[in-house]
Structure 1
């Protein structure tokens, strides 16, 4: 049973803003043949949003050797995704207002396909970094605008559609991390083929999105919200809470992806098993990412889910610190459940705005600021480990970060709308 979304369907004037909702339903896609095709198109796009990152990690040593990349530049690669997600994500609303979110996501799929394919032929480090940044730019704008597309074309199916999107994203993340190395071996052992093969899925997504763009034929201002309706979003406490919640959960997720195998290996777990445990951490997010948004959308607020996921993280990090080799699969599952704050925050972005334009702004603000917040996390964790030589300090720090994450999450999860908070002062009030 799909959850209705009253806020998404609200077409009455807000008592505080005096503005009529801009959540337009030009051609709701749910429940039709074209709707199913659109849903598949969104899922294929989501599947392509992480392989550009997770396919590189397992082959990083080979890439370094092949390009003559020094360790400092290789370390920079771990921070580039968050930086690009933040910076390019901020540009997404202006682009959507100009040509519409569907056209921008279509261009994003093109950037991902071109960047992933072309970087596999790069002859030097600088070109490789630039082409990786091109692909990440496509990921960034798609990160921001796919939830907006869902809000607009599936207004009464926001929870299930965010669930589908999150599940496909988690599946792409897990599959790229798990099969890139054996796939490279099957293709002759050259890292260029192992990275470039993922452009094939990008090309499929591009074809599907071109078809959708031709059918929908969006207009920019209508899709992104007219300039007069743009909110001073920095005045909204909910928007700031959402951004901080997003940034802190992203910190935990990137640390887990980057450091979890090392944590297990230092406790005596062999490399093969540590890789399986990392895969378990990511795979657990696939079914949860599908179910959680639907459950969250049924409730007036999502504070219960914020507390449950945060508590899973604290328990998982405590287990990793005290007995990492004992019940290691339990700690991996708990950390994976904690990382499911990602589909939860995506769901909340769709619920905390009344209008399509509001979702665009909130999505860009929360993800842009959030990813910038997440940049120092993995670097700081590595520094603490380097200084102490043990994992007690880094894991304790991660557990401690979950406290403000839950506090910001509790504020962001309250049943409020940014349009009611980001109120523009009336001219008379400005003069006074």
Structure 2
């Protein structure tokens, strides 16, 4: 496929930045990305064990599955304002500190309510990190968007893959509390790296970290302020219109929301679906890791394809077909679980595609920050009902048929329509100015 005008424009808009400081930024980005799904996947395989100790039902499991979406919805919308106040490096450090602290303390939770609250704190940090990383990639690596998007997604998938693989055996060996809290080391290490990166930037360019300005790439790697030009409301600095008045932003949010709906439904309920079908808890945890690993393999090429595509619909449609086949297979022939889980991994790789679109469909770091916050915030809000509704329908009907039909089938149908409408790449800056793509 020939490169799209979006990718070409993005490449022309940013001069190659200086290399100094990029190595530490790269390591910090990787370490932060490792934590963005780890908070969820380190807990979901243990929910059955924890539920037996605390005595909660399937509806509570659904609440745990909904918590990430609540955090991503709320903090997806407010993170751009936090970035303007603190700067992106400090925001990244804060996100990792919250994630690590929440993971440590929740391992000592005495009851269900406390575990929910402390998991929410850890997820708040992950939500901040979800939004701040794409603008940081745009800021430090505008000449390597496809490569860094791939690196980020490999790290996210690695952080999601390993905890389910070892969670149950580790909990059997040392107890679920230690198995849950041990992962905090990665987040606390990432927080330290971002503190060091912020100190380096402050030392080299003190004006770049003044309160009220967030960083963006400039000529020759200089950092420029991105203070809001919309009256300080945080609606999208530098855009011709507030981002919530841009139809393209809403369509991207809806697509992101439907993909996220299915990702977190599967993270929450795939172990239960497989154990109900007769598989062991350890096998179910392994299948979650297989799904994430399959998503990782497909995701290795997704950023490059997305950045170069002149029509993104075939890419999204292929992922949605993987979801459809995977859901049907788990429902009708669960004894072939590995095959269906690989198909679900193909669908889950759409998360890579939608995240890459955030940078592909913006020409500046401030545009990326505005689009990242809105798409992830509004999209996660749309996805809130997925895990909870899936479990509630299963409990009310005594089976999973209604859950598959309504929660899975309905969301995939919506995603197909939105993906077709938003098939031609264009930038948020152009959309806000009313310039439609040719």
TM-score, normalised with respect to structure 1: 0.85
CA-CA distance at 1:406 after TM superposition: 2.0
Partner of 1:93: 80
Partner of 2:285: 275
CA-CA distance at 1:346 after TM superposition: 0.5
Partner of 2:157: 170
Contact 2:79-2:373 within 8 A present in 1 as well: yes
For residues 396 and 112 of structure 2, the distance between their equivalents in structure 1, rounded to whole angstroms, comes to 30
For residues 272 and 134 of structure 1, the distance between their equivalents in structure 2, rounded to whole angstroms, comes to 28
1:216 aligns with 2:201: yes
Partner of 1:415: 425
CA spacing shift, 1:63–1:261, aligned 2, 3 Å: closer
Partner of 2:167: 180
- 1:31-180 aligned at under 5 Å gives the runs 32=19, 34-64=21-51, 68=54, 70-71=56-57, 75-180=62-167
CA-CA distance at 1:53 after TM superposition: 1.8
Contact 1:108-1:138 within 8 A present in 2 as well: yes
CA spacing shift, 1:261–1:123, aligned 2, 3 Å: closer
Q: For 2:269, which of 248, 259, 263 is the aligned residue?
A: 259
For residues 82 and 8 of structure 2, the distance between their equivalents in structure 1, rounded to whole angstroms, comes to 28
CA-CA distance at 1:242 after TM superposition: 0.7
CA spacing shift, 1:227–1:177, aligned 2, 3 Å: same
Contact 1:49-1:172 within 8 A present in 2 as well: yes
Partner of 1:28: 17
For residues 380 and 103 of structure 1, the distance between their equivalents in structure 2, rounded to whole angstroms, comes to 36
Contact 1:5-1:158 within 8 A present in 2 as well: no
CA spacing shift, 1:175–1:104, aligned 2, 3 Å: same
Deviations 1:208-233 (A, max 9, x none): 11121112234352526221125411
| Paired residues, number | 403
CA spacing shift, 1:10–1:100, aligned 2, 3 Å: farther
1:360 aligns with 2:369: yes
Partner of 1:297: 307
Partner of 1:207: 192
SS at match of 1:227: coil
SS at match of 1:297: helix
Bigger drift between 411-420 and 107-116 goes to 411-420
Unaligned runs of 5+ in 2: 203-207, 216-224, 230-237
Deviations 1:184-205 (A, max 9, x none): 344x32x322222111111211
SS at match of 1:221: coil
CA-CA distance at 1:383 after TM superposition: 2.9
For residues 250 and 353 of structure 2, the distance between their equivalents in structure 1, rounded to whole angstroms, comes to 16
For residues 177 and 273 of structure 1, the distance between their equivalents in structure 2, rounded to whole angstroms, comes to 10
CA spacing shift, 1:62–1:318, aligned 2, 3 Å: closer
Contact 1:56-1:195 within 8 A present in 2 as well: yes
TM-score, normalised with respect to structure 2: 0.84
Partner of 1:18: none
Deviations 1:208-265 (A, max 9, x none): 1112111223435252622112541122121111100011011111122222233334
Bigger drift between 347-356 and 74-83 goes to 74-83
Contact 2:243-2:371 within 8 A present in 1 as well: yes
CA-CA distance at 1:268 after TM superposition: 4.0
Partner of 1:428: none
Partner of 1:310: 320
For residues 248 and 261 of structure 1, the distance between their equivalents in structure 2, rounded to whole angstroms, comes to 21
For residues 78 and 101 of structure 2, the distance between their equivalents in structure 1, rounded to whole angstroms, comes to 20
Partner of 2:379: 370
CA spacing shift, 1:193–1:284, aligned 2, 3 Å: same
Partner of 1:16: none
Unaligned runs of 5+ in 1: 12-22, 425-432
For residues 327 and 228 of structure 2, the distance between their equivalents in structure 1, rounded to whole angstroms, comes to 45
CA-CA distance at 1:266 after TM superposition: 3.8
Contact 1:150-1:161 within 8 A present in 2 as well: yes
